[in-house]
Chain A
């Protein structure tokens, strides 16, 4: 039986708060944790077959042009080389998230430096890599567009909006701000590189890969190969981080499948780190212009947020930089816009909270600067401008605890101890400053299915949903355990297999809520089946520790189930709910930094975040999500930057030695707090997304603190020492 819910109306029952097991919300350990730390969780690149061959992708070394000739003969004559695959079905780029169809294919034309154009297959990885290093390719180069600042841009009609008269109020308002910021390219930087092992059984392909959204990935892979999706099975039970980079099928998967079919043996293709940088989606470099107008009391009268991003020709994705701007703060006069440039550079796509990750911190930099102009405390300025309802819409917020998060964070952090005068606090050679920012991220629900089978031994949850390090195994186990009255160890969760019911996939912070709701629905259907058997109402049924209690009688669940397992499927679909309330998650970030007065080096000394995201399903994994987001916030603020060579567009710092993620010493004590919240519009669990909220705004708390420490406004991220040096005494 399937319990299907199309979410048209808010939840009125809040059933999870009335269950007895007491496992939901706790910081239960991950069921997969021990497997991972003991090396028993097999990742894609670890799959072996006795007759497996190894493929290494060959990159284009021009930014634009035609491939004139690929001369495979010399490489194919090398020892250990099996074949050079130059199939036109090779992917030029990875698919964008939820593309559901093949991305651009073909190796006759080069659109960017680093584009895969061939696969060298060998009997060993070393042989294949050596071959790949020496494949002779000649090009007919074409003129390339390499510098996003130097090419023509377009203003897509759908990306511009305005209310009132921003230009007018910018002229008349007593206090205004009009400044431009830039952020660099960011790489997702999942620890596990992209890897696939493909094997065919007749017409059926099995791919062990590392992907976030399997139901789409299956269709993308099948479409790329020109075969029926029914003949494709993808397995991604363990994913070593995604951060957007594994949303869509990527070149190594299609190459492995093509080679395995051609050679009649399994083929594994693992991208070296350099290739991940050169081939996989990155966050585009961005230029943002913010305009603000306020009256003397600090009430915002006008908000303008314009930005410039870029992508390859024919790529539809443009970073939704201003996604949170329409609803975070109130102002009558507004203008939002986007320009998009087309350039020959590695594909741009979803990376760690696309949109808000860079849009919110820059806006929060502007808010900090505006507060200074107004002579107001930055916290007070924000509190004054939080809208009652989403501006320009005639619906309420489903819930909005931004003010509470700001006040809670401020109190716990000790914001009242901040000296508002920049450069006023010094300890030895370090200039000390505090900064804060709001955290905002839209909330989404996606269609998702899951199945639960209940036997005398316990329950098994099954869906093709993925756990990309986020804690999916833990939370789905907890949801089923809570509703079915089973301790965690009696629930087995199976994920990451396209043979299982299609879940939402992991992306956009919607995985826990969407996939979790499908498990919730399946469990509710099982509760109904158990109640039927006991001849009571489901609402009167108490399930706890493997016991069913109804009408003051206790029955062992195992006895009730007996020989025939109970089975149920849950199916959630987003309905009309979005027209009834506007959903987002909110929070606050606070940071204290020390800037060296001699060298301009910035070190974060402490950081605190308070977040409101509906029900927290697992306190530990939720907290880990926020810690990760804040850490990436430190990276965005201080260290992370993709360097491109504007002569050929290639990624210059294509490894972890020179693409600087924060290391342990860059990340001090981070504190995470959650506000108690339930959001009935989100889903019947009343839980919202949390994966991305922690990064949205975090960088601004750091850069605003740099201003408080030094008086320097960082306009060009990251805040490396060379940007600060000229302003130091």
Chain B
């Protein structure tokens, strides 16, 4: 581990000012950053500890939603009565991730900013455009079980590992950030994470020094909430494919449906076209297949992850059947 300086912030403005120095990084729960620092995958020169900032609360917003402080732990967020009642997909996504111990430490803001679990990103002997821009991508042509089938580029095929972010994407959450000028702005979850393109090291639209202060959930969407995570063991594994589905029925037809996917792309994946297609129609196997066709039209496997293409379709159909109470798909 490289030596670093440590600065404990007393106010968000201090934190932002301190973190705008070159080579600085915020630290909250540290469940991902500390591992990466030990391996020197990340080597910040300065850590700005934000754990004492007043960002630990979950508050109701004027519009009937929830404002989740960036330092609310994953455990607390999952257990919050309002979240369990009105945003069950979020609670379920959180509980499907990591372990009890990690969820106690991991924070809402940190979860959004966790790095990919690509094996090659973790090994400093391997070229990785995300770790060392311009060095190449060792994952392409290597072991790709964890890797993306959607939105990848020739520079990076990594996936975002978060479950929480997938549910937030389905819920149309917004990320509130504070910048160096002291002003706060909100960023739609849809825009918050980036696709790799030719700059895979740039993972979000955050500017230097910007601090996540909260995640804002819009008013409850109603409907049935399903989070289905498919993985290589029963617990403590990252998603091969995950589906967050929220569906509200309008009589026999689908009134509203939201779908987001994890484990398949560099960001939580969502496809408006598939949702639009299903709205107002009666749930059916054929309809779900049509939705899957749209979502997977540009899907591309890397060999070791080709199975994710049929797996996404099957998981999507199972989740939609459950959310629309259609019964078992055929």
Contact = CB atoms under 8 A, between A and B. Distances in A.
Interface stretch (B51-59, B152-160, B188-196, B314-322): B314-322
Given A61-B125, A647-B142, A653-B143, A665 B234 contact: yes
A721 B233 contact: no
Contacts of A599: 230, 311, 314-315, 318
B307 A598 contact: no
B233 A652 contact: no
Given A657-B238, A658-B146, A666-B235, 7 more contacts: A133-B124, A599-B315, A599-B318, A643-B119, A650-B123, A663-B235, A722-B311
A295 B330 CA distance: 41
B29 to A, nearest CB: 16
B232 A639 contact: yes
B117 A598 contact: no
Interface in A585-622: 598-601, 603
Give the top 6 A-B pairs by smallest Cβ distance, nearest first.
Answer: A722-B307, A665-B234, A598-B318, A665-B235, A61-B125, A652-B143
A603 B38 contact: no
Given A126-B1, A652-B142, A638 B230 contact: no
A229 interface: no
B236 interface: yes
B71 to A, nearest CB: 24
A337 B138 CA distance: 38
Contacts of A721: 230, 232, 240, 307, 311
A593 to B, nearest CB: 12
Contacts, number: 86
Nearest to A429: B328
B145 interface: yes
Interface of B: 1-3, 38, 40, 117, 119-120, 122-125, 138, 141-143, 145-146, 230-238, 240, 307, 310-311, 314-315, 317-318, 328-330
A645 interface: yes
Contacts of A59: 125
A643 B103 CA distance: 28
Contacts of B141: 647
Interface string A121-158: 00000100110010000000000000000000000000
B311 A429 contact: no
9 contacts: A130-B40, A598-B318, A599-B314, A654-B123, A658-B119, A665-B234, A666-B233, A721-B307, A722-B311
A116 to B, nearest CB: 14
Given A643-B145, A652-B142, A721-B240, A603 B234 contact: yes
A548 B307 CA distance: 71
Contacts of A601: 230-231
A364 B1 CA distance: 48
A623 B310 CA distance: 42
Given A61-B125, A598-B314, A599-B311, A660 B233 contact: yes
Given A639-B233, A665-B234, A720-B232, A133 B311 contact: no
A664 B38 CA distance: 27
Given A639-B233, A645-B143, A660-B233, A133 B40 contact: yes
Contacts of B314: 598-599, 725, 728
A721 B263 CA distance: 15
A660 B237 contact: yes
Nearest to A132: B40
